[in-house]
Structure 1
Amino acid sequence: MKLIFAGTPDFAAGALAALIAAGHDIALVLTQPDRPAGRGMKLRPSPVKALALEHGLRVEQPLTLKSEEALAMLAAIDAELMVVAAYGLILPRAVLDLPARGCLNIHASLLPRWRGAAPIQRALLAGDAVTGITIMQMDTGLDTGAMLSTHPVAIEAADTALTLHDKLARVGADAIVSTLAALPGLRPQPQPEDGVTYAAKLTREESRIDWTRAAADIERAVRAYNPAPGAHTLLDGSVFKLWGARAVDGRAEPGQLVVDGEGRCCVGTGRGLLELTEVQAAGSRRLPAADFMRGRAELAGTLLGV
């Protein structure tokens, strides 16, 4: 099938690789402009661009798809279908109507739950037991299009946003290939009106830990904000990041750093204790909490977050 592919991060690159391996004709790849990255802040291509160039595919990086030039470029491809995965630009109606079979999106949730920008993190924050991939027809709404296929993925107790992202990326890559293979016989199903939730974009402010919340809630936040933006608090006035934690029984003042009888480094919360397993102090590297606390007995009793 002659396709246009639009995507930017690793999540999308996996889908592009699967489509290439399946033998589809990728006539054009759209991706975000190169961004500064690394210590030198040199321009770096997106994972999708890097993969496309490896395979000799045509790559375009328009700032908008609303211009006449962009529309003319896409129309000239005469693609049968466009596949979109975490692209980063809004597709106007004129673009959605160009391909003969329309535009399909690989969305990282089981719609209509978690429409929007951060479905993986929001599912973790909410304590969902299952999420998944939805292959949907795109319309002008925010992830409101009819569904062609759904692919559930269990959320494990130790999943972080990173591990869940990687699971969903693999499922999404397989799902788009199988959906395209079955496309002639698929009947799009409208999304249910009940159960709609929105996955708002993450902010740095919300990743600061509120120690008055229950330990179980904070544990989910630590997993949801790993790897970015990173759950954090303050230790002696400096940023202190939490990369691993689990809720355990016990009581202490919210935010109080304690070492229990088994040598575990814990923090009091609004309900229960949060055992820290991996942390990062300002200017330091990530460490197991036990290693960080070694030789720092004076920190016991310190209030975090102030």
Structure 2
Amino acid sequence: MQFKRTLFTLLALGTAAFAHAQGNWPTKPITLVVPFAAGGPTDVVARTLGAAMTKSLGQTVVVENKLGAGGTVAAAYVAKAQPDGYTFFIHHNGMATAPALYRKLSFDPLKDFEFVSQAVEVPMTFLARKDFPANNFQEMVTYIRANKEKINLANAGLGAVSQLCGMMFQRAVGVQLTEVPFQGTAPAMNALLGGQVDVLCDQTTQTVPQIKAGSVKLYGVTTKNRVKVLPNAPTLAEQGLKDFEVVVWHGIYAPKGTPKPVVDRMNAAVRAALKDPDVIKRMDDLGAEIVPDATNTPEALHAWLKSEIDKWGPVIKAGGKFAD
């Protein structure tokens, strides 16, 4: 009987200490894992948000870049991390495409994480090398259909949104082009600038400077509506590709089992960061769109991820692009 009383007391003390720790959270720096290289689009978003969240959390948000396999290395790492409130994860559309792209996935995007918030969306642009022989979108589609065996379509690697956008474009116009994967968006853009590849679909965070400099040809944006940073650029949908929409969306996650009060506090920190004037200006400069409050809830992120998995699965399977 004495043993049972002692065990109960220890469990009660442990529970009280854990609850107290949650109430004081955070008491040390927080790690935000980024699945791509430093300086890349997702990294820039993460560091901008992290700096702003530090203000409201009272602790530094440290960005850790953990690369590999289209973001699945980082996702698997976070899925297995201690759910103590000090490890979080930011990822883009790759969280939704991984189940279709990888035959052997060590985590379930919908079941192995706590959902914190969406953050920002980044439009995509459809580009060609500067000397591509088409002056508008319709001429470009006509030329590609007539010369599909000769056209090289660059992307930033398996699972990258640039690859998915390219796959969706090919499906929409009824062609199969030669895809040339690179290790990231910067090498893909450099190849386009150098004329080694013909066309590329990539996000505004990477392409706006080249577009404004006249170093590439822009044929449209991939959002439902025109974007602020490129107000004169028509959407692909309004130019004939009905319902064509590809945006790079970013969500923030935590390991499964992270306490709800911690998730809620982190969600509040993300919301505050998205209203920070410095963040707003930085996102405007990048062409990124801050998502509305209604989509900044754990429930909304979960529902959005599920819808994106359903959307991209058939596209990927039709394209036959898989990895082990």
TM-score (ref. length: structure 1)? 0.28
Structure with the higher fraction of residues in strand conformation: 1
* Greater RCO, CA 8 A, separation 6+: 2
Structure with the higher fraction of residues in helix conformation: 2
TM-score (ref. length: structure 2)? 0.27
